[in-house]
Structure 1
Amino acid sequence: MSGQTITKSLVDSLEKQPAEYTVWDAKLPGFGVRVRPTGAKSFIIVYRAGTGRTAPVRRLTLAAVGKIAPEAARTQAKILLGTVANGADPAAEKRANRPKRDRLTFEELAQLYLDQYAKVRKSSWKNDEGYLKKPRAKWNRRIAAEITDDDVAELLEDIGATAPVGANRTQSILHTLFSWAKEPGRKHIPTNPVADMRRRYQETPRERVLTDEEIRALWWGLDDADLPASRPVALALKFILATMVRPGQSAGLLVPELVGFTGEDPQYHIPKNRVKKRREVIVPLNALAVASVREAIVREDRGAVFSSWSFRSDSDDVERGDESPSDRSPRQLAPLTRDALSAALNGRPAKGKRSVRKGIREHLGMAHFTPHDLRRTAATIARRGGAKREDVKALLDHLEGDVTATYDKYDMLAEKRLVATILEAELRKIIGVKPNFCRPEIVFDRDNVVPIEEQKIAVAS
């Protein structure tokens, strides 16, 4: 595609297609925007390295869209294309400046992968970063090209001893990392040591759905003054159950993402960076969801709806979901994380000088469940209440994945709003009226102290 001036509005309007395509700038030949099938966009230049028709054609990526403005990208492209006219080859120079394979450590390779691939293409890049912590700690200064399949197998066996699912996820991330690292034009490593490795641990599909009794106990238990978690954490968990959003989308909710919040049609506009396949999703909010958000916002005027205190410890930065203790200095208020919600449910064992912290489940006497199980529970409740399967699927933001879905952009907002209403009605039936946990009132009759319940029995007799 050509003949258009590359501006911010043009770049924002470009939609992903089944095949990669490039839009070329009308003002600066060789400068364009490449759009991949995943939806990732980047500014590029194309030029001939040399003179004549036989000179090789080079393509150089300037930066991902979002990291640099179109005008700044055009300026950079103009400078580079100017050097090409004087005989330079920017693409070759970039390759020459890459770390040498024989000295590139795994730590350096992992950071390159996160910066150049995961953060650019994946809304869930934080997951990749988390699962790479143990490989980076174990292989740190090892030369990346020298890591073998036996090294990977040993690492996965160590992880799988206590976290078999974590071992599988780590294996998947390592496979993607090494595949990316050996691609032509990059070739940081000669082979992918995970290429022929089968998944080591069998996983049981998650099917946990909370019962009505558990839902009621959790909903009102989250209001317990002695709950071993902060109020923002409790409200964020309620928000998942009332909306079906993913835990990370609940934890990361920002005030500017609430559209029409004080009107009759409140909505949560989830930004592309927190949605699979990088596209904006609109979630209608029912009254229960609005109540959780309103309480969280009233607590303090801030950008994050459900916030946590972030601290600096002696050894590391620790993000927590509980309130600020007096013996530590908070660095800043920040949105909760998905891990903070899980940690609040799980609690933590004593370790070193760190004391044991009871989890929400243990405090409420409930069987194991995860924040994501609340999403599955909400979907089940809505279906039980009469919501159509395809409408629930839309609110869950489950993609079809076929060619038609690529072109069908109908947002199903009306259908999703109906599901949210049904979900609220069903939840209200389940949770009922808030239990009265107060002790029987004591009345004084001269010198005798008589509970009201006993008075009622006496009157009745």
Structure 2
Amino acid sequence: MTAQTITKTLVDSLETRGAEYTVWDAKLTGFGVRVRPTGAKTFLLVYRAGTGRTAPFRRYTIGAVGKIAPDAARTQAKALLGSIANGADPASEKRAKRPKTEDVSFDRLCELYLDEYAKPNKSSWKNDEGYLKRPRAALGRSPANTVTDDDIADVLDEIADEAPVSANRTQSVLHKMFEWARQPGRKYVSANPIRGLERRGGKETSRKRVLSDEEIRTLWWGLEDPEVPCDRQVALALKLVLTTMVRPYQAAGALRAELHGLRTAAPEYHMPPHRVKGRREVVVSLSPLALEVIDLTNSENQIPIFPSKYGEEPQPIRRSALSQALNDKPSEGRIGVRTFLGMEHFTPHDLRRTAATIARRGGALRTDVKATLDHVDGDVTAVYDKYDMLAEKRAVANILASELRKIIGCRPESIDAEIIREQLPYLRSAEMREAS
């Protein structure tokens, strides 16, 4: 690829390909930005360690795009080249500073994996961090190289007793971590102890849970009950998932600055690359019903749309807050939203599936719903077809809003979970009479 001046505009425009590639800077020899198929972008410097043509080439990672600006990365590259000219070898020095295998505890290995691999390469790194909590609590002090498959299996079996799917996800993260840790240049462990280990959570079946109309109405108005056991911001974030089809973490992490045209005919939520699978910016069309949910947050004066009550600085609610609000927590004597409303098990992600089903039932085309869900095609044509389908997504959003309004009806006189359930048969009959 022809060298170009590396600027923020250029870096933001670089798209993923089927293989890793590097764009080199036209002004500073050896300075470039690497783009991985996952969408991760990293500033790097390539140089010769020593003088003469026989001196080996070294590759030094400066930092991940998003954590360091292009100008700052170039400044750091210049400083490194100055030290290299005086005989330094920063790549070798960095390797020498790595902790020795016998000094790396399991807890430290998890920390290294998150900092050096998951955070720079995975938009879902917080999921990895969450899945590693139980293993870290159980095995944290053990030297990483002494952890066995039996040790891991014991932890996974404990998780599987409560949450089989979570056990499988934890096992996948651990497998990836050990594979990463045993590679040349790291060698924190000599082998992956769980390679070939059967899934401790058992075989999984595809999720098919879709809430019925009665359940949707119960949930919608039940979340307005003053006694509902969850914070107001969490309740509204759950509603935003249902009205937009965004993923739960994309609703929880939304910022005010990412909302555009709220008082126009085409309001949108512009999701940044770090909050999207594949590290792409995605535009979500907001229906009038979704705007009503957002308006209830008073977000005009807030940096996050759904601010957390924890921490001194304004920050969004945690991505796990939505699922935790639905679940009971017997250890704290707390019931979740599902139990409070007398509903069968469902997850925040099931609201997304429910919304897609309602939109299809209302007449939205499958291809348009697929675009709204941001389900990306994996074929070659998708690499070249960059049509954003905003008009189609706007139509889906409006169909979904119309169908949801029919389902939820008018606000009950008393917002009480038991009363809502008692009124449902009558309210549904009334809606059918009105429709006829």
Specify whether residues 216 and 33 from structure 1 end up closer, same or farther in structure 2 by C-alpha distance, changes over 3 A only.
same
- 1:41 deviates by 1.1
Q: Which residue of 2 aligns with 1:384?
A: 361
State the distance in 2 between where 1:224 and 1:213 align: 17
Is the CA contact (8 Å cut-off) linking 1:131 and 1:170 kept in structure 2?
Answer: yes
Q: Which residue of 2 aligns with 1:319?
A: none
Specify whether residues 91 and 219 from structure 1 end up closer, same or farther in structure 2 by C-alpha distance, changes over 3 A only.
same
State the distance in 2 between where 1:87 and 1:376 align: 59
State the distance in 1 between where 2:403 and 2:336 align: 27
**TM-score normalised by structure 2 residue count:** 0.91
Is the CA contact (8 Å cut-off) linking 2:229 and 2:325 kept in structure 1?
Answer: yes
Are 2:191 and 1:210 aligned? no
Specify whether residues 247 and 7 from structure 1 end up closer, same or farther in structure 2 by C-alpha distance, changes over 3 A only.
same
Specify whether residues 256 and 170 from structure 1 end up closer, same or farther in structure 2 by C-alpha distance, changes over 3 A only.
same
Specify whether residues 401 and 94 from structure 1 end up closer, same or farther in structure 2 by C-alpha distance, changes over 3 A only.
same
Runs of at least 4 residues off by over 4 Å: none
Specify whether residues 387 and 21 from structure 1 end up closer, same or farther in structure 2 by C-alpha distance, changes over 3 A only.
same
AA aligned opposite 2:182: K
Are 2:113 and 1:113 aligned? yes
State the distance in 2 between where 1:344 and 1:155 align: 25
- 1:432 deviates by 1.9
Is the CA contact (8 Å cut-off) linking 1:43 and 1:62 kept in structure 2?
Answer: yes
- 1:59 deviates by 0.9
Are 2:52 and 1:35 aligned? no
State the distance in 2 between where 1:217 and 1:418 align: 26
* Cα shift readout 1:177-225 (whole Å, capped 9, x = no counterpart): 1111122222222211122223231223211111111111221222223
State the distance in 2 between where 1:227 and 1:168 align: 31
State the distance in 2 between where 1:2 and 1:85 align: 26
State the distance in 2 between where 1:430 and 1:267 align: 24
Is the CA contact (8 Å cut-off) linking 1:270 and 1:283 kept in structure 2?
Answer: yes
* Paired residues for 1:192-207 under 5 Å: 192-200=192-200, 201-207=202-208
* Paired residues for 1:436-451 under 5 Å: 436-437=413-414
AA aligned opposite 1:396: L
- Bigger drift between 378-387 and 234-243 goes to 234-243
Are 2:374 and 1:361 aligned? no
Q: Which residue of 1 aligns with 2:257?
A: 256
Q: Which residue of 2 aligns with 1:338?
A: 319
Is the CA contact (8 Å cut-off) linking 2:18 and 2:37 kept in structure 1?
Answer: yes
* Cα shift readout 1:205-248 (whole Å, capped 9, x = no counterpart): 21111111111122122222332223222221111111111111
Specify whether residues 63 and 332 from structure 1 end up closer, same or farther in structure 2 by C-alpha distance, changes over 3 A only.
closer
State the distance in 2 between where 1:171 and 1:407 align: 36
Is the CA contact (8 Å cut-off) linking 1:18 and 1:403 kept in structure 2?
Answer: no
* Cα shift readout 1:157-181 (whole Å, capped 9, x = no counterpart): 2222222111101100001111111
Is the CA contact (8 Å cut-off) linking 1:228 and 1:363 kept in structure 2?
Answer: yes
SS class of match (1:309): coil
State the distance in 2 between where 1:23 and 1:164 align: 43
- Unaligned runs of at least 5 residues, structure 2: 417-436
- 1:50 deviates by 2.1
Q: Which residue of 2 aligns with 1:297?
A: 298
SS class of match (2:375): coil
* Paired residues for 1:31-430 under 5 Å: 31-200=31-200, 201-297=202-298, 301-310=301-310, 331=312, 333-349=314-330, 351=331, 354=332, 356-430=333-407
State the distance in 2 between where 1:336 and 1:188 align: 35
State the distance in 2 between where 1:438 and 1:37 align: 49
AA aligned opposite 2:223: L
Is the CA contact (8 Å cut-off) linking 2:285 and 2:394 kept in structure 1?
Answer: yes
SS class of match (1:43): strand
Higher strand share: 1
Q: Which residue of 1 aligns with 2:25?
A: 25
Specify whether residues 220 and 59 from structure 1 end up closer, same or farther in structure 2 by C-alpha distance, changes over 3 A only.
same
- 1:438 deviates by 9.3
State the distance in 1 between where 2:28 and 2:374 align: 40
- Bigger drift between 108-117 and 45-54 goes to 45-54
SS class of match (1:59): strand
Specify whether residues 334 and 29 from structure 1 end up closer, same or farther in structure 2 by C-alpha distance, changes over 3 A only.
closer
Q: Which residue of 2 aligns with 1:7?
A: 7
Specify whether residues 422 and 149 from structure 1 end up closer, same or farther in structure 2 by C-alpha distance, changes over 3 A only.
same
Is the CA contact (8 Å cut-off) linking 1:2 and 1:25 kept in structure 2?
Answer: no
- 1:404 deviates by 2.6
- 1:375 deviates by 0.7
Is the CA contact (8 Å cut-off) linking 1:309 and 1:332 kept in structure 2?
Answer: no
- Unaligned runs of at least 5 residues, structure 1: 312-330, 440-461
AA aligned opposite 2:396: V
AA aligned opposite 2:320: D
State the distance in 2 between where 1:32 and 1:339 align: 36
Is the CA contact (8 Å cut-off) linking 1:387 and 1:422 kept in structure 2?
Answer: yes
- 1:332 deviates by 5.3
State the distance in 2 between where 1:27 and 1:159 align: 53
State the distance in 2 between where 1:28 and 1:334 align: 38
Supply the RMSD in Å over aligned alpha carbons: 1.8
- 1:333 deviates by 4.8
Larger Rg: 1
AA aligned opposite 2:395: L
Q: Which residue of 2 aligns with 1:434?
A: 411
AA aligned opposite 2:11: V
- 1:361 deviates by 1.8
SS class of match (1:310): coil
Is the CA contact (8 Å cut-off) linking 1:18 and 1:406 kept in structure 2?
Answer: no
% identity of equivalent residues: 63
Specify whether residues 41 and 333 from structure 1 end up closer, same or farther in structure 2 by C-alpha distance, changes over 3 A only.
closer
Aligned residues: 415
- 1:402 deviates by 2.8
State the distance in 2 between where 1:403 and 1:60 align: 33
* Cα shift readout 1:90-114 (whole Å, capped 9, x = no counterpart): 1111111110112111111111111
AA aligned opposite 2:148: T
Is the CA contact (8 Å cut-off) linking 1:48 and 1:57 kept in structure 2?
Answer: yes
* Cα shift readout 1:16-60 (whole Å, capped 9, x = no counterpart): 221211111122111111111112111111112222322221111
Q: Which residue of 2 aligns with 1:445?
A: none
